[in-house]
Amino acid sequence: MLELCNLGYSYPGASRPALQGINLQLQAGECLGLLGSNGAGKTTLLSLLSGVLALQQGELRWSDHPSLGLVPQQLAFYAGLKVRENLELFADLYRLRGSERRQRLQHCIAICALEDKLARRSEQLSGGEQRRLNFAIGLLQPAELYLFDEATVGVDAGSRQQLLGAVEQLTAEGKAVIYTSHYLEEVERVAQRILLLHEGQVRLDLDKRQLLGDDHGLLLEWPGAAPVGLDALLARLQLTAEALPKGLRIPALNGQQLLAITEFIAAQEGLPNLLRFGRPSLEQLYLRLNGGRL
């Protein structure tokens, strides 16, 4: 659907390019999770794709005439209008008519939980409610590619789950999605591919399963020193452990090895502060890849 070739962009007076040498392919039905620290170039990339910024370097190649839906980081609606008036206005701008108009409005109102907010002025909504309106307006646009830039900041946990379900529904329907968020559990849920930007360059672009792997590991943290005998147990079980400031991490182990360790822990006088078993989360991996910087 979309191919980026050697994409670059520089802001006037900046000491380094905001983006440099970006190469990327995106397929229909795929969600790309776009990660990076503040200032890494995520919003610049989405602004180039959506036409908010003019292309300076490289090429954007589309398989067809692009139709884009955008949920921007900044709120993009008319604060003095009521919620219903904003939605009707943007439906007009998107040239929605007839049954498609009614269905899309009903869907966006329901998925963003705005039914009881329609008669209120948009400026009188809470911060999270304004985010939901912003999300609904972007989702209202019939498109083949949807761009979400920090779309759920300030949204309560229950509403966030609804909005993430809407993103998953888009890819299930064959739409392409680029999703950026500092809530890494969101990206882990909705994305099939992970792209990491750092200082305007792509540092990593991998399938999520390839990135996180299938191995199950164990993370242990203690209030003080680790129990005597733990090192000997790990050696007997032929397990390799990585020392951490407050404990250790075992990158891979099986069920019998886990049972032996938990029986050892249960026999101690004090329990660990943390015992976490499972696949590594995207947040854990991101912090390791990014040198511990958020």
List of domains in the chain: 2-211 (3.40.50.300), 215-278 (3.30.70)
CB proximity list for 14: less than 8 A, separation 6 or greater: none
The DSSP letter of residue 200 is T
How high is the pLDDT of residue 294? 41
Helix 127-140 and helix 157-172: axis angle, to 10°? 10
| Distance, CA of 275 to CA of 285 (rounded, Å) | 18
How high is the pLDDT of residue 213? 65
Q: What is the pLDDT of residues 43-63, one digit of tens each?
A: 999 999 999 999 999 999 998
Q: What is the pLDDT of residues 104-132, one digit of tens each?
A: 999 999 999 999 999 999 999 999 999 99
As separate numbers, helices (DSSP H) first and strands (DSSP E) second, the chain gives 10, 13
How high is the pLDDT of residue 281? 72
pLDDT tens digits, the chain, 294 residues: what are they? 899 999 999 999 999 999 999 999 999 999 999 998 888 999 999 999 999 999 999 999 998 777 999 999 899 999 999 999 999 999 999 999 999 999 999 999 999 999 999 999 999 999 999 999 999 999 999 999 999 999 998 888 888 998 999 999 999 999 999 999 888 889 989 999 989 899 999 988 888 777 766 677 888 888 888 888 999 999 999 998 888 888 888 888 898 999 999 999 999 988 898 888 877 677 767 666 665 544
| Distance, CA of 216 to CA of 135 (rounded, Å) | 36
Please check whether residue 122 is in contact with residue 77, taking contact to mean a CB–CB distance below 8 angstroms. Answer: yes
Please check whether residue 83 is in contact with residue 120, taking contact to mean a CB–CB distance below 8 angstroms. Answer: yes
User: Which residue from 229, 218, 227, 233 is spatially nearest to 270, judged by alpha carbons?
Assistant: 227
How high is the pLDDT of residue 141? 93
- Give, rounded to a whole angstrom, the gap between the first and last alpha carbons of the chain: 31
DSSP string, 155-197: --HHHHHHHHHHHHHHHHTT-EEEEE-S-HHHHHHH-SEEEEE
How high is the pLDDT of residue 78? 97
